[in-house]
Structure 1
Amino acid sequence: MTADVQTFPALQAAEIEALAREWYHKLDVHAPMVELLPMLADDGLEMVFPEATVYGYAGFEGWYQTVIRVFFDEKHTVKVVEPQIDGQTAKVKVIVHWEASAWKAPGATSDRYAMDADQSWEVARNAAGAVVVTRYVVNGMTYDEGSKHL
């Protein structure tokens, strides 16, 4: 007897955009890991940030726990989500405006960062049919005038 293979509909642009918007909202509020991990592939995840390339849940958790202790007053504004859908997978161009503050002891003031981040995502459906990020690459940043640089 063969097991039934679950089939899911092709990815839709609206659900990919919803994933991006929810992702950035959760980053803004420093959501707990239990809310972020279901948005990421549980196998084969690669995330390329300016300061590190991380793999899997453990790699993401290490990166995330570091950045939420550095940056505060974060605000992500999604500007572009352009998927190229191929059935159950998609390559996605994402541009997000990011603003955040950081304080480094013993400084008298915090630093303010503001920039557009040009990103490339790859997304797919997981075994339960949810859309998840499988690869996340920050290609570069265009800083606002007066912004501190990373």
Structure 2
Amino acid sequence: MSTTQAAPVLTEEAVRQFVTRWYEALDRHDPVDEVERFLASEGLVMHFPEGTSEGLDGFRSWYDAVTHRFFDETHTVASVDTVTTGPDSAEVKVVVNWQTSVWTPPAARSQWLGFDAYQTWTVVVENGTLRIRTYTVDGLKAMPGSAEL
């Protein structure tokens, strides 16, 4: 009788691909139920410049707000570094370049925003897939010519 072991889920390459897929979903403004598949079902805490969201309900509120405010979004992953890893979790440092447009009524024109975002994530394995449990924007560095966030 032979036994087969499943390939490890929590590898550096898997984490890198997961981070990229997350930002692709955000850029497309995928429906919230599809984006939630990236998130842990329990213990979710996300620290954004505009505030902290907790749990899936908190994420839904944040996502609704940002998808109605920002458009033409582009996230370009600059680096993904796995700092520590255990059998079911990893701390990950992410640097992403985020460019978007925003329109604040009644302004005659939209404004361009561009930032390098420095982040720390905790990624966990839940039901055999990677999920974000904590997501912290540690800092933002504005690109030349960017409007303020």
Counting aligned pairs with the same residue, the percent is 38
What is the RMSD of the two structures over their aligned residues, measured on CA atoms?
1.3
2:40 corresponding residue in structure 1: 41
2:131 corresponding residue in structure 1: 132
Query: Secondary structure of the equivalent of 1:148?
Result: coil
Structure 1 residue 33, shift from structure 2 partner: 1.0
Cα distance in 2 for residues equivalent to 1:93 and 1:137? 10
Cα distance in 1 for residues equivalent to 2:8 and 2:145? 46
1:116 corresponding residue in structure 2: 116
**Amino acid in structure 1 at the alignment position of 2:47:** V
State the Cα deviation string for residues 54-108 of structure 1 (Å, max 9, x = none).
1110000000000000000000000010013222110000000000000111111
Cα distance in 1 for residues equivalent to 2:42 and 2:89? 15
**Amino acid in structure 2 at the alignment position of 1:131:** L
Cα distance in 2 for residues equivalent to 1:53 and 1:99? 21
Is the 8 Å Cα contact of residues 30 and 68 (structure 1) preserved in structure 2? yes
2:74 corresponding residue in structure 1: 75
1:98 corresponding residue in structure 2: 98
Is the 8 Å Cα contact of residues 10 and 87 (structure 2) preserved in structure 1? yes
Q: Which runs of 4+ in 1 moved over 4 A?
A: none
Is the 8 Å Cα contact of residues 91 and 123 (structure 1) preserved in structure 2? yes
2:147 corresponding residue in structure 1: 148
- TM-score computed with the length of structure 2 as normaliser: 0.92
Is the 8 Å Cα contact of residues 8 and 129 (structure 1) preserved in structure 2? no
- TM-score computed with the length of structure 1 as normaliser: 0.92
**Amino acid in structure 2 at the alignment position of 1:21:** T
**Amino acid in structure 2 at the alignment position of 1:32:** P
Structure 1 residue 11, shift from structure 2 partner: 1.3
1:3-82 pair list within 5 angstroms: 9=8, 11-82=10-81
Cα distance in 2 for residues equivalent to 1:111 and 1:96? 20
Query: Secondary structure of the equivalent of 2:20?
Result: helix
Is the 8 Å Cα contact of residues 9 and 88 (structure 1) preserved in structure 2? no
Structure 1 residue 10, shift from structure 2 partner: 5.8
Q: Which runs of 5+ in 2 are unaligned?
A: 1-5
Task: Give the paired residue count.
Answer: 143
Query: Secondary structure of the equivalent of 2:29?
Result: coil
